[in-house]
Copies of this chain bind each other. A is one copy, B any other.
Amino acid sequence: MADSKTPNLDELEKGPWPSFATEIKKAAATKANAKGLMMQLERSYKEKRGHWKHGGIVGVKGYGGGVIGRYSDSPQENPEVAEFHTIRVNQPAGWFYNTDSLRKICDIWDKYGSGLTNFHGATGDVILLGTTTANLQPAFDELADAGFDLGGSGSALRTPSCCAGQARCEFACFDSMALCHELTMAFQNQLHRPMWPYKFKIKMSACGNDCVAAIGRSDFSVIGTWRDSLVIDQAAVKEYAAEGLDIRGRVCEPCPTKCLKFDEKNAELTVNAEECVRCMHCINAMPKAIAPGKERGATILVGGKAPIVHSPLMSWVIVPFMKIEEPFTEVKDLLLKIWEWWDENAKNRERLGETIVRKGMRNFLKAVELEAKPQMVFQPRANPFYFWWPDEINSSDPASEETSND
């Protein structure tokens, strides 16, 4: 190893965790650009800096996005990665694959790319790492033949993603995969042709465990919940008790509203459903004994995003409860209304949450025709600086309809 050209990458092949360095080396064995990547990366480890330039705009016919252009900042040293673009391929909802499809992707990337991929990108796409401008179109054409379309990039709708939901999970309160697929299909134009002030992300988790981290990183989150009471199977409760689960300590105590009572003598668990905030904790702890209620649907939240520029935002409630049923018209209509308002009101590079914060929830709610609800806030405002609509003020009747308390 002493005279290896890649001492840093060699070092990164060691250890129990599967190695990306090994993956790169495998690809480098047959692909010049993978080798170029390897050598440039080795240099990065030596110099402690990246060697990529800002991407120019590259793409495929008929699309405004789906490709991230990437160029080496030192093509003289690493000419094989002078161009090293990424193709974002829209994953199937829930990231399920049959091996045929997966092998087709491999074959295409064997032919046109570096042989390197990300399964998946942080947004959820299949990321095909590294190809030339010339290869973009033929690669896409073959992907299309294999049934795969591009994902989103730029100031467009980004590829929606969802948890496994009803496909593999007993907690699912709506069909997250169906909704994800339907929204993706319904909004192909928004996904493929950037035409907004900035990116827009949709994610859906079929229960409050939020296994796709929707609430933290999507402009529009759909998170499953129910409106009636969770369902307790007392026989199963008794089994858990018999197996030695400390139901009072591990299930009732951490309940945020203390609305579960365990009767130790009869090994009976009861819930005060009105006080339950549907946090999933007790269900997670006793999945065989407790299940979500029967009247299922989702909470809709908006505004989540990463810290840049003003602050991180966590999505917040705008619809406490919505039934989520095919053909998902209510969700789609709401999205269209939101986009219309956002597109009209947002500054350049302003995410939905930032626009709402700047313009105020009252303007947003009015535009998307939603009523204010206390579920939208942790707490009401602590300042007296609120606005009145012109029609709430008049010179003869001082008390407006909305706020008079007679």
Alpha-carbon gap, A132 to B21, bound state (A): 87
Q: Which residues of B sit under 8 angstroms from A384, Cβ to Cβ?
A: 307
In chain A, positions 136-178 with a C-beta closer than 8 Å to chain B are none
A308-327 near B? 1/0 per residue, CB < 8 Å: 00011000000000000000
A383 located at the interface, meaning its Cβ lies under 8 Å from any Cβ of chain B in the complex: yes
Least distance between A398 CB and chain B CB atoms (Å): 9
Binding site for B on A (CB under 8 A): 307, 311-312, 382-385
> Which residues of chain B are within 8 angstroms of A311 by Cβ–Cβ distance?
382-383
What residue of chain B has the Cβ atom nearest to residue A311's Cβ?
Answer: B383
Contact of A383 among B307, B383, B385 (CB under 8 A): B307
Residues of chain B lying within 8 A (CB to CB) of residue A312:
382-383
Complex: chain B residue closest to A310, CB-CB: B383
Contacts of A383 in B (CB 8 A): 307, 311-312
Contacts of A382 in B (CB 8 A): 307, 311-312
Chain B residue at minimum C-beta to C-beta distance from A309: B385
Q: Which residue of B lies closest to A314 (CB)?
A: B382
Specify which chain B residues have a CB less than 8 angstroms from the CB of A385 in the assembled complex.
307
Closest B residue to A48 using CB positions = B398
Task: Give bound CA distance, A312 to B382, whole Å.
Answer: 7
A385 closest partner in B (C-beta): B307
6 more contacts with CB within 8 A, not counting A312-B382, A312-B383, are A307-B382, A307-B383, A307-B384, A307-B385, A311-B382, A311-B383
Residue of B nearest to A307 (CB): B383
CB distance from A115 to the nearest CB of B (A): 34
Q: Closest approach, in angstroms, between the C-beta of A323 and any C-beta of chain B?
A: 34
